[in-house]
Amino acid sequence: MADTFTPRCHTALAVATALAASLAALTAAPSAARAAEAELTPGAGAVTASTSDDNAPANVVDDDFDTRWSGEGDGAWLQLDLGAAKTVSQVKLATYRGDSRRNRFQLQYWTGSSWSTAFDGSSSGTGTGLESFTIRPVETSRIRYVGHGYAGEDGSTGTWNSLTEVQVWGGTSDGDGDARVPADVLDLTNWKQTLPIGEDERPTEITQPELARYSHDPYFKVAPGGKAVQFRAPVNGVTTSGSRNPRSELREMRNGGKDKASWSTTSGTHTMTVREAFTHLPNERPYVVGAQIHGGDDDLTVFRLEGKKLYVTKEDTTRHKLVDDNYQLGTVFEAKFVAGGGKVKVYYNGELRTTISHSGSGNYFKAGAYTQAHCGNSKPCSSSNYGETNIHHLTVRHD
């Protein structure tokens, strides 16, 4: 996917912004305090489930810890309809026999067109009272608990999913939200950010713990409205030594951001889900990559927009699979990669679109704006000519 021309007219931008990057790092605003939350839990008539025994779904909102909902099977779900779009930031769950069981589950929210995962994990197994699960604030009208059974403290497992109480908490959107830096919107614990500024072939990289309070306008900032993170890479931006194209992009890390992530497609299962919108394309060569799996040496597969055509690539085959032939800038979509068993499954808005065979190690996820243009093939050679994305939600899971 690399081009053959190496631009040098980004040098001025490199020099001019290097100092700005340092100053921004020193003055980046800390996360603002969240506004007071209110309970949003609906009444019994708004609670449904995919399955249940005699223990009905409505029992989880009756304020009685002696009643419960129980549904058997991997993927059994419980849904709470909030009646209208509201900002949800916390879900509280009371697990049946929660002092001896750890429920395995996901918390999902409705985007208006599909379900997106906000939390993927387990209950603590330490008590039967309400346990709080905080998520990044999302605007939604429905919340869903998707159960995957339980593990007992004695080593036993089961396929029943049982809850005694559920509460939904959040607040009313204030328009601009209260997010001040990207880490207020996305969980950036295990990421580092590469910016299109810095010294020639040595772009600025922001790692944890600095990343938790970092913002740099316009390359990496909270998008207008406070619900997404803006990534922008101009054609005259600084590039890495291995690419001719500029990027404002997150790179997967591990151990709280201390070490680079590196995993194999033949060991375990590795999943990244991202809700994203392409918001601006460069001139003449209107190509931008929004999310990808990078292999040991090069891109393994990416979501790449070319004008109005959105493709999934396969190594050097940039038009491997067309997933949208009339993409409109600003349209939020969900992209998901699931890698394991020597294959990569790629989903677009919840639908499997292609499966790519690959056996190899050294892989990691990336997300942001990787502009596929530079000063040698796109004019003007200035910061006004850029690729841009907004990321609304980003999760990674390794099993």
pLDDT tens for the chain, residues 1 to 399? 433 333 334 444 444 444 344 434 333 333 333 444 688 999 999 999 999 999 999 999 998 999 999 999 999 999 999 998 889 988 999 999 999 999 999 999 998 888 999 999 999 888 898 888 888 888 899 999 999 999 998 999 999 999 999 999 987 544 445 678 999 999 999 999 999 999 998 999 999 999 999 999 999 999 988 889 999 999 999 998 889 999 999 999 999 999 999 999 999 999 999 999 999 999 999 999 999 999 988 899 999 999 999 999 999 999 999 999 999 999 999 999 999 999 999 999 989 999 999 999 999 999 999 999 999 999 999 999 999 999 999 999 999
| Residue-range domains of the chain with CATH | 11-32+178-398 (2.60.120.200), 38-171 (2.60.120.260)
| CB under 8 A, 24+ apart: contacts of 111-118 | 111/140, 111/275, 111/332, 111/334, 113/349, 114/334, 114/349, 114/350, 115/144, 115/350, 116/273, 116/275, 116/334, 116/393, 117/273, 117/395, 118/393, 118/395
- Comparing C-alpha atoms, which of 326, 327, 348 is closest to residue 275? 348
As a whole number of angstroms, the distance between CA 104 and CA 108 comes to 14
Phi first, then psi, for residue 284 (nearest 5°) are 65, -45
